[in-house]
Amino acid sequence: MATKITQKLLLPSPKLNRMYLLELIGRNPDITQAELAQRCSLSVAMVNNYMKEFLSLGLLEYRRKSTKNISYHLTGEGAAAVESISQEYVEEMVSLLAEIKGKILNSIMSQANGHLQRVVIYGSGNLAELVYHALDSANIAIVGICDIPVKEHRECCGRQILNPSQIRFLAPDAVVVATPECADELSENFGHLLERGIRIIRLDGLGLQPVPMTMPAAQHSAEVTH
């Protein structure tokens, strides 16, 4: 679990804040309220309110070591509360991931006009893993995963990561760019794939269509064999 909550689109609910705070206390009874506030992106006053709530509900107990030194300890009820909220959190995340995979698949298929059989995934991070499972759930063949730099024995989803120079030999219908932060640059570098009728699918909503073949068939065949 991350050591600090990142507040972006999905803001932590009060219930999730309780889980984070109780988990941190359970791992480190000597943690201070200021540290809890910093780790959970809350104000010290808000953390103090939560601590009072935990105490009143019997989830937490204080042990004073000195006039200025207090340690916090979860009670049995506190540990049970963490377990209960954590289970609820996992169930919601599983549901959310299923929804995200559905959105990814819809985006890919809409750019492919519903026709897609063989795909190469470009990227090897978290988004690439989601793309992999979304395509796999639709029984679309993933013929390769490519990325740069390629490290020896590096894998993604149990598949060896290939150099992008191998894409044309894999003969996919499309390359799904699972690295949105550099999609513009990659799209420019994939012009030779477009010339071969390989679609470039971007997950930022900017799909590129294959361009018509302009070279004679014999010349194209000769270039592919190089």
Write down the pLDDT at residue 10.
66
Residues 38-50: b if buried by 16+ CB within 10 A, e if exposed = ebbebeeebbeeb
Q: What are phi and psi of 47, to 5 degrees?
A: -60, -40
Write down the pLDDT at residue 4.
55
Write down the pLDDT at residue 9.
60
Structural domains in the chain, CATH included, are 14-97 (1.10.10.10), 112-224 (3.40.50.720)
Nearest alpha-carbon partner for 104 in 77, 73, 136: 136
Burial label, 200 (beta-carbon count in 10 A; 0-12, 13-18, 19+): buried
Write down the pLDDT at residue 208.
42
> What is the distance between the alpha carbons of residues 216 and 133, in angstroms, rounded to a whole number?
38
Vertex 197: Cα angle to 161 and 223 (nearest 5): 80
> What is the distance between the alpha carbons of residues 68 and 59, in angstroms, rounded to a whole number?
22
Write out residues in the chain with pLDDT < 70, as ranges: 1-10, 149-153, 183-184, 187, 205-226
Write down the pLDDT at residue 214.
37
DSSP string, 115-153: --SEEEEE--SHHHHHHHHHHHHTT-EEEEEE-SSPPTT
The residue type found at 74 is: L
> What is the distance between the alpha carbons of residues 59 and 88, in angstroms, rounded to a whole number?
18
Write down the pLDDT at residue 65.
77
Whose tokens are 């064999």? That residue is 225
Nearest alpha-carbon partner for 103 in 130, 142, 143: 130
Within 10 Å of residue 136's Cβ, how many Cβ atoms?
13
Interhelix angle for 76-111 vs 126-137, to 10°? 70
Supply the pTM of this predicted model.
0.69
